[in-house]
Amino acid sequence: MNQSSSAFSLFALSVLLILSSTSFAQTDASPKLEPSYEVSLQVLIGSNEPGSKGDVPSNLSSITRQLKNNFSFSNYRLANTFLGRISNTGNIEYKSISNILGQETDAESQTFLEWSLFNFRSVQSGFQARSFRFGAKVPVRTGGTRSESGRVDPIINYESVGLTMNMIGLPANMPTLIGTISLPRTTGTIFLIATVRSADL
């Protein structure tokens, strides 16, 4: 009887030790790091204004050829490039004061810019996001007032421009034109180009 009890006790102790070591190994294991991706949003502006021509990066050569076949602008310039790092189901939100639209008259009439990408996912054939938004409040001169000294101070109003898209899909490693926005009080147009690639960890 004593031998049976001792054997059972040793067996139970062995089982407890095995379970404890297994549980410790499971809790000690570090969670697997999700793959990261780099999202690049490039803002290209097309216009017919003299002197506004600028250099366009070589990675956008296929995009500019596409634009020249569909739009009659004589000049294209890269206004800015925005970068964000993101993982699956992540979000990007960006807000800033900017002069990328070339519409500012002075330091007190800047452009208010924001863009966002929500619920980003990697899928079999590329990438997908539940929503994308790009918006800006652009200063527009609507008149002026003359001070006692004779100086003319501009009257600036802000007009909102933007683009919102739901369930947007993007291929991997390929600049993709995702939308256009007309600039207020001008003949210019904003072209939004997104590129998603794997980020080095």
Per residue in 55-76, pLDDT tens? 788 999 999 999 999 998 988 9
pLDDT band at 37 (very low <50, low <70, confident <90, very high): very high
Domain identity same for 81 and 4: no
Tokens of 106: 């002075």
Domain identity same for 80 and 4: no
Domain identity same for 5 and 42: no
SS3 labels along the chain: CHHHHHHHHHHHHHHHHHHHHHHHHHHHCCCCCCCEEEEEEEEEEEECCCCCCCCCCHHHHHHHHHHHHHCCCCEEEEEEEEEEEEECCEEEEEEEEECCCCCCCCCCCCEEEEEEEEEEEEECCEEEEEEEEEEEEEEEEEEEEECCCCCEEEEEEEEEEEEEEEEEEECECCCEEEEEEECCCCCCEEEEEEEEEECCC
Tell me which amino acid residue 160 is.
Answer: S
Domain identity same for 68 and 14: no
Domain identity same for 85 and 5: no
pLDDT of residue 4: 54
Domain identity same for 118 and 193: yes
Domain identity same for 26 and 51: no
| Alpha carbon distances (Å) from 16 to 2, 9, 27, 184 | 21, 11, 16, 73
Domain identity same for 14 and 49: no
pLDDT of residue 22: 55
Per-residue model confidence as pLDDT tens digits over 142-176: 787 887 777 877 778 888 889 999 999 999 999 99
pLDDT band at 127 (very low <50, low <70, confident <90, very high): very high
Domain with 94, as residue range(s), is 37-198
- Residue 168 neighbours by CB distance under 10 Å: 17
Listed residue (40, 22, 34) closest to 117, CA to CA: 40
Domain identity same for 25 and 77: no
Measured between alpha carbons, how far is 124 from 122 in angstroms, rounded to an integer?
A: 7
Total number of residues shown for the chain: 201
Domain identity same for 120 and 170: yes
- Mean pLDDT confidence for 48-57: 74
- Residue 101 neighbours by CB distance under 10 Å: 23
pTM to 2 decimals? 0.74
Domain identity same for 5 and 92: no
Q: How many domains does the chain fold into?
A: 2
Q: Give me the torsion for CA of 61, 64, 66, 71, rounded to 10°.
A: -170
Domain identity same for 110 and 191: yes
